[in-house]
Amino acid sequence: MTRTLCASILILLAGVATVALAQQQLPPPQADYLGQSPPGAEPRLFAPGLVSTGLSERDVAITPDGNEIYFGAALGRYRFTTVMVVRRVSGRWTAPEVAPFAGNPADLDLEAALSPDGKRLMFLSNRPNPPLRLERNEDIWLVDRVGGGWGPARNLGAPVNSEQKEYFPSLTRTGTLYFTREDATTGDSSIFRSRLVDGRYGVPERLPDVVNSGTARFNAFIAPDESLLLYCMLGRQDSLGGIDAYVSFRSPDDRWSEPVNLGPKINTAASEEYSLSLSPDGRFLFFMSARTADTRELFGDRLSYATMQRLAGSPGNGSSDIWWIDASFLQALRPK
């Protein structure tokens, strides 16, 4: 498919999204979290019709002041991917738009992660990195805050990025970077971290086997104070089915607890739950899930072409959506 055709498809999708947004009332002025009522002990769709739509959405990152919310959007089994942003400007929320450092239809851009101070944003991209290399490889890229926007995107480089795949960055207050590295030969993925020393990232270390258990480990979010790690695993005996989300707690002397399954409110037998993150104040947990809606409740006992079209543009259609839940339950999982 030519780049011109790809661009035309994205323009068409943008037009469809604009029509949908015209039908969706934007949040009221000054509202936090896009005017959503905060969730309680049960997960709730995040901003249905505005953020959670018929696309595949994931990867929530929020600035410390709450004025910018970044999330990933994908279409066509990840044939088209990008990072979206909604902003609160002069007290009013804007409609979702592609982030300024993303948007090339040929690039895989996802997994935005903000530093706790909001001055740096890292993300996954497979864009070429001239003059070092022109072939595509999944690497961690970054942009730094310049005024009210972002500076040019640049590849984080070695020793974090390598010939392997590196993705899903997450940052602590001290700048330590947690990320996933995937072995090109075996396909196994593990969680690594790299300490920031004198402004440079050191050689990454693989987290201990107590964290990197199961058969695949990936998409790890580290709390800003490095006290807990939220991540996804496959192949553990306590799995509720498929890919499950877990938490592992870190002690002040850098010991990690056995991972704890987040349970049936987060994990389901049939859906993939991953891309977890916490709100800047730690009150809310965001996660991706492809759980489906009850179509009979929405459309009756029989589908029609019209209802199929409506379902294609609605959350709960089998594509991933963003969910959120009160995060206070996490501390109850900490080993005594």
**CA nearest neighbour of 98 among 121, 71, 66:** 71
**CB-based contacts of 10: which residues, under 8 Å, 6+ apart?**
80, 105
Strands (E), 37-195: 44-45, 56-62, 68-75, 80-89, 92-93, 97-98, 109-114, 120-125, 139-146, 149-150, 154-155, 165-171, 177-182, 189-194
Q: What is the pLDDT of residues 137-182, one digit of tens each?
A: 999 999 999 998 999 999 999 999 999 999 999 999 999 999 999 9
Q: What is the pLDDT of residues 214-246, one digit of tens each?
A: 889 999 999 999 999 999 999 898 988 888 999
9-36 mean pLDDT? 55
Q: What is the pLDDT of residues 260-295, one digit of tens each?
A: 999 999 998 877 788 999 999 999 999 999 988 776
Q: Residue 67: pLDDT band by 50, 70, 90 thresholds?
A: very high
Q: What is the pLDDT of residues 101-118, one digit of tens each?
A: 999 999 999 999 999 999
Tokens of 5: 């055709």
Q: What is the mean pLDDT of the chain?
A: 89
**CB-based contacts of 23: which residues, under 8 Å, 6+ apart?**
49
Q: What is the pLDDT of residues 47-60, one digit of tens each?
A: 999 999 999 999 99
Q: What φ, ψ does residue 194 adopt, rounded to 5°? A: -135, 125
Q: Which domains does the chain carry?
A: 3-25+45-332 (2.120.10.30)
Residue for token pair 């995040």? 46
Predicted confidence at residue 307, as pLDDT, reads 85
The alpha carbon dihedral of 32, 36, 40, 41 has a sign of negative
Higher pLDDT, 133 or 33: 33
Residue for token pair 């800047």? 280
